[in-house]
Amino acid sequence: MTTRVAAIDCGTNSIRLLVADLPDPSTGPQAPLADLSRRMEIVRLGQGVDRTGRLAPEAIERTRVALAGYAAEIEKLGAERVRMCATSASRDASNAADFRAMVEQTLGVAPEVVTGDEEARLSFTGAVRGLPADADPPYLVVDIGGGSTEFVVGTREAGVQAAISMDIGCVRMTERHLHGDPPSLDEIAAGQADIAVAVDRALEAVPGRAAATLVGLAGSVTTVVAIARGLREYDPARIHHARVSYEQVAEVTADLLAKTREQRLAIPVMHPGRADVIGAGALVLRVIMERAGMSSVVASEHDILDGIAWSLA
């Protein structure tokens, strides 16, 4: 017997909804979710949090509008269980209580402000189900978000071996370093150095350099992969489990950082809400591959959102 669930992932840059039917347990541990609805809105909840320590009122309002639409979708589809996880921005903000009150009033359930460790474990659960046969374990799963990046090492059979969250998301790094349009070489160098320090700390805390396969999650990774594959439109089916080389990632990263925001907006696969931060997201991915010694990355369209859904089983 299936169970219909709704999962919401509210990050620093975007808020996403998944309504899906969980498989009957008798179908086996690798049976997939049956998606009914996947939606994403760029709300930039973490706007200015790195600088001010507070969620901006206009960012909370953008999130409320998106969440109201999600609540209507959840009611229409008849989800039996709902879980909303809020991540980096709402962990860091001094006025997080205002955000929680808005969510309860709009959605009818309280958001769970998950720890970085829990965020990493949910991402791993969503990412490793259904990986192709040529993706050898152990896996290093990296989830490059707006405010933070999660690093998780493990296998399907044994689960998570180690996990850590670092404050090097694409929004945070853009606001901290990449101010020019396009950013200057000095700005890029400062951002790269900041990212490298965090990545080295992460790879010391989790045995990422010993992993056989790098799995990349979230919009920065999937956008870079879509560009590297030469897609003329964003097609999740062609991006999911696509593998691209370090050389391709480095080439795309250099190109994105050399472009203006308007030039990035003209890229066919670019979401308008991602154009101003994609350079930093690509740089995070490139530095991770470089410091971990990874020759390629496998993109996954399944991530923390799917992990939240599975947690409702």
For residue 83, is it within any domain?
yes
Side-chain-side CA neighbours of 238 within 13 Å: the count stands at 14
Sequential DSSP letters for 271-298: -GGGTTTHHHHHHHHHHHHHHHT-SEEE
Does residue 73 sit within a domain? Answer: yes
Cα separation of 67 and 61, whole Å? Answer: 10
- Regarding whether 294 and 151 lie in a shared domain, the answer is yes
Global pTM? 0.83
For residues 84 and 168, state if they share a domain. Answer: no
Residue 121 domain flag: no
If one counts the domains in the chain, the total is 2
Domain that holds residue 107: 3-113
Q: Which residues contact 216 (CB under 8 A, 6 or more apart)?
A: 142, 144, 222, 225, 285, 297, 298, 299, 300
Q: How far is CA 281 from CA 75, 203, 257, 276, 278, in A?
A: 34, 18, 10, 10, 5
pLDDT on residue 268: 96
Q: Give the span between the Cα atoms of 305 and 283, in whole angstroms.
A: 24
Q: Do residue 159 and residue 281 come from a single domain? A: yes
Instruction: Say if 65 falls within a structural domain.
Output: yes
Q: 74, 11, 88, 1: which is closest to 37 by C-alpha?
A: 74
Within-domain flag for 122: no
Q: What is the pLDDT of residue 28?
A: 57
End residue of a domain, out of 113, 146, 169: 113
Dihedral sign for Cα atoms in the order 121, 127, 128, 129:
positive
Whether residue 93 sits in one domain with residue 164: no
Residue 205, pLDDT score: 94
Domain boundary among 113, 140, 155: 113
Residue 90 shares a structural domain with residue 220: no
Whether residue 311 is contained in a domain is answered as no
CB of 302 closer than 8 Å to CB of 129: yes
The whole-angstrom separation of Cα 62 and Cα 45 is: 8
- In 3D, which of 287, 104, 269, 102 has the Cα closest to residue 198? 287
> Both 108 and 15 in a single domain?
yes
State the CATH number of the domain containing residue 106.
3.30.420.40
Closest CA to 211 of 293, 156, 304: 293
Of the candidates 198, 312, 196, 219, which has an alpha carbon nearest to the alpha carbon of residue 272?
219
Tell me what pLDDT residue 89 has.
66
Residues 94, 208 share a domain = no
Query: Do 176 and 55 share a domain, yes or no?
Result: no
For residue 155, tell me if it sits in a domain. Answer: yes
Residues 185 and 79 in one domain: no
Of the residues 53, 85, 113, the one at which a domain ends: 113
* Maximum separation of any 2 CA atoms in the chain, in Å: 58
Q: Are residues 149 and 273 in the same domain?
A: yes
Mean pLDDT by 10 residues, the chain (313 residues): 92 91 73 90 87 91 97 97 84 84 95 83 88 92 91 90 93 95 97 98 95 95 97 95 98 98 97 95 98 97 92 89
In a domain? residue 312: no
CA angle (118 as vertex; 113, 124 as ends), nearest 5: 130
pLDDT of residue 157: 85
**pLDDT on residue 221:** 97
The CATH number that applies at residue 293 is 3.30.420.150
Does one domain contain both 148 and 88? no
Same domain, 107 and 136: no
Cβ atoms within 10 Å, residue 268:
11
Residue 39: the pLDDT is: 94
